[in-house]
Amino acid sequence: MRISTGNCEQISLKIPAFIDGELSDIESKSVKEHIKSCNKCRMAYDRYSVQNELLKEITKITPSDSFNSKLFQKIEQFNIKRQHPADVFFRWILPLPALCAVVLVVFMGFTLVSPYLYALPGQNETSGVLPINTKKSLISFIEFSSYCDNHCRQVCRYCRVTKGSKCICGGCADESEK
């Protein structure tokens, strides 16, 4: 590649390679001629030459055998560990469905068992005007629906007696006619 002797930008890019002896004979000759004729490029050449000489004077430092192990120990001491997004997922989000399942099981268990807990077999309660029959068996969950029906009827009876209102639920229409 031939370098024109008048192009300072192109020559200034080649000066470090010229000092290190990395240019071809033709390129070295054209850079040398340009440096002789151009003050700006001669100053850049002098600056690079001084830096090159200073770098050659520096003695090489050889690290000890344990340098790498000590360096990595220091890095590990000051290393701030950030959580990987997958760690956050497995630690917090993955157990969430299991927690929801437990809550659901507890809720459903309470819903199915609560009528039997509050209406133990053989108990008769009197609340206000009408006696409430609460005798239920703890064995059969089928009786739960009859418990709900009876409760609805008792609420309707209570409303009729205390407030004189008619039943609007439709489930105990036959009861209101009696």
pTM: 0.34
- Degrees, nearest 5: CA angle 73-79-82: 145
Establish if 15 belongs to a structural domain: yes
State the Cα–Cα distance between residues 16 and 11, nearest whole angstrom. 10
- Count of domains for the chain: 2
User: Whole domain around residue 137: which residue ranges?
Assistant: 109-177
Establish if 163 belongs to a structural domain: yes
Residue-wise pLDDT tens digits, 60-105: 888 888 998 888 888 887 766 666 777 777 777 778 888 889 999 9
Establish if 73 belongs to a structural domain: no
State the Cα–Cα distance between residues 111 and 89, nearest whole angstrom. 32
Residue-wise pLDDT tens digits, 146-178: 767 777 777 777 777 777 776 666 655 544 444
Residue-wise pLDDT tens digits, 124-144: 555 555 555 555 555 555 566
Establish if 96 belongs to a structural domain: no
Establish if 149 belongs to a structural domain: yes
3-state secondary structure of 124: strand
Establish if 90 belongs to a structural domain: no
Establish if 146 belongs to a structural domain: yes
Establish if 118 belongs to a structural domain: yes
